[in-house]
Amino acid sequence: LPAGLSQWFPALEVLDVSGTGLTEMGAELLSLPCLHTLLAKNNRLGGPGSLPKGLEQAPLARSLRVLNLSGNRFSEVPPALLQLRGLRSLSLGGNRLHGIPPDIQELHSLEFLYLGGNFITAIPPELAKLPSLRYLVLCDNKIQSIPPQLAQLHSLRSLSLHNNLLTYLPREILNLVHLEELSLRGNPLVVRFVRDLTYNPPSLQELAGRTVKTRNVPYAPSDLPDSLVRYLSLASNCPNPKCGGVYFDSCVRQIKFVDFCGKYRLPLMHYLCSPECSSPYSSASQSSTSQSESDSEDEASVAAHRMQKVLLG
């Protein structure tokens, strides 16, 4: 960037240096107190010294609202960017990112996050701690699963996950009550549905915990060590309405197909307390088959009511 920028344009609010071959942005940037939009797309940024030192302490850290660094060469999200607490829009698409740092949760004001076209393999649960996030773009990566914590993004309107490696979605995604657009095309879950059934036998501690919870054995914190009290508080109810059981660490992972918008069937991950809840030979399963179908219909009607776009192909 040219020296003396702040003297020439002290009230500069928008700066676009996209496509100029930049390899670094100098300290001149730090003395622009009014700058709220910085566009530096399609450059050569990403090496050591690409961003000026002291960025997090500069007036710019408080004024900047929109930052677009797409089409550069960043292999990781620069730590200094995670200190820009006033950011509302951050774009790092088309870089060389292999992950999302957990400290992304520090950007509390973020409403738009674009990380498409990278090499990201996993989504950290901390991403769900962005209360204002409305648009999340993670397309064209190598993501294999979605953490159920994303259901905590209550402000989310649009979620773009196309062209990844997803084979199922967490059931919790139905809790995204404001979600209007879900893009999933180009994932294995669209071109080939997957069924999965795994089960590790419960430990003696889990068997005892299940008995305490299902039989409503009374206990008080003074009766048990703190670790056991905490353990018992982690019990999850089996979703099979005919079962009434609970589970802790040992559960059956099973894919359940749910209709979205009356047209597409999406595989959602469900967790059952034991194989008997899903076995076609068990009486519990026999009686819950129709219930399971009605669960799907209920979920479908809710999804169809809420979703405006489910983009699968």
CA distance 224 to 220: 7
Position 305 in a domain: no
Residue 186 lies in domain: 5-196
Is residue 181 within a helix (H) or strand (E), and if so which, with residue range? strand 181-183
Position 95 in a domain: yes
Kindly state whether residues 232 and 214 are assigned to the same domain.
yes
| pLDDT for residue 254 | 66
Kindly state whether residues 146 and 217 are assigned to the same domain.
no
Position 302 in a domain: no
Encode pLDDT of 139-156 as tens digits: 999 999 999 999 999 999
Kindly state whether residues 101 and 216 are assigned to the same domain.
no
User: 130: domain CATH number?
Assistant: 3.80.10.10
| pLDDT for residue 260 | 54
Kindly state whether residues 109 and 54 are assigned to the same domain.
yes
In this prediction, residues 259-288 reach a mean pLDDT of 55
Residue 81: how many other CB atoms lie within 10 Å: 23
| pLDDT for residue 267 | 66
Least confident span in 74-83, 160-169, 244-253, 276-285: 276-285
Type of residue at 154: H
The count of domains in the chain is 2
Kindly state whether residues 116 and 254 are assigned to the same domain.
no
Residue 7: how many other CB atoms lie within 10 Å: 9
Partners of residue 168 on adjacent β-strands: none
Encode pLDDT of 244-266 as tens digits: 888 888 887 766 666 555 445 56
Position 297 in a domain: no
Q: Which of 60-64, 126-130, 218-222, 309-313 has the highest mean predicted lDDT (pLDDT)? A: 126-130
Kindly state whether residues 176 and 211 are assigned to the same domain.
no
Is residue 313 pLDDT above 80, yes or no? no
Residue pair 65/36 in contact (Cβ under 8 Å)? The answer is yes
Kindly state whether residues 157 and 210 are assigned to the same domain.
no
Position 102 in a domain: yes
How confident is residue 21, by pLDDT bands cut at 50, 70 and 90? very high
User: Does residue 60 or residue 308 have the better pLDDT?
Assistant: 60
Kindly state whether residues 227 and 187 are assigned to the same domain.
no
Instruction: List the Cα angle 83/86/90 in 5-degree steps.
Output: 80
240: tokens are 């099979």
Sheet holding 264-272, edge to edge: 169-170, 264-272, 252-260, 197-198
Least confident span in 35-39, 47-51, 67-71, 305-309: 305-309
User: Does residue 241 or residue 140 have the better pLDDT?
Assistant: 140
Percent share of the chain, pLDDT over 70: 77
Q: How far does Cα 184 stand from its chain's mean position?
A: 14
Kindly state whether residues 165 and 236 are assigned to the same domain.
no
Kindly state whether residues 213 and 186 are assigned to the same domain.
no
CA distance 13 to 36: 5
Backbone angles phi, psi at 225, to 5 degrees: -60, 155
CA distance 132 to 53: 28
C-alpha torsion 99→113→143→269, nearest 10: 130
Query: Is 262 exposed, middle or buried (CB count within 10 Å of its CB: 0-12, 13-18, 19+)?
Result: exposed
- The greatest distance separating any two alpha carbons of the chain, rounded to the nearest whole angstrom, comes to 80
DSSP summary character for residue 275: G
Kindly state whether residues 78 and 137 are assigned to the same domain.
yes
In this prediction, residues 305-309 reach a mean pLDDT of 49
| pLDDT for residue 6 | 55
Of 159, 179, 196, which one is at a domain's C-terminal end? 196
Is residue 15 pLDDT above 60, yes or no? yes
Least confident span in 18-27, 83-92, 301-310: 301-310
| pLDDT for residue 184 | 86
| pLDDT for residue 5 | 58
Is residue 81 pLDDT above 50, yes or no? yes
Nearest CA to 268 out of 253, 251, 288 is that of 253
Number of H helices, E strands in the chain: 6, 15
Residue pair 60/87 in contact (Cβ under 8 Å)? The answer is no
Find the length of the chain.
313
Type of residue at 42: N
CA distance 237 to 63: 47
| pLDDT for residue 310 | 54
Residue pair 213/232 in contact (Cβ under 8 Å)? The answer is yes
In this prediction, residues 42-65 reach a mean pLDDT of 89
Of 196, 223, 254, which one is at a domain's C-terminal end? 196
Kindly state whether residues 108 and 214 are assigned to the same domain.
no
CA distance 195 to 177: 27
Position 225 in a domain: yes
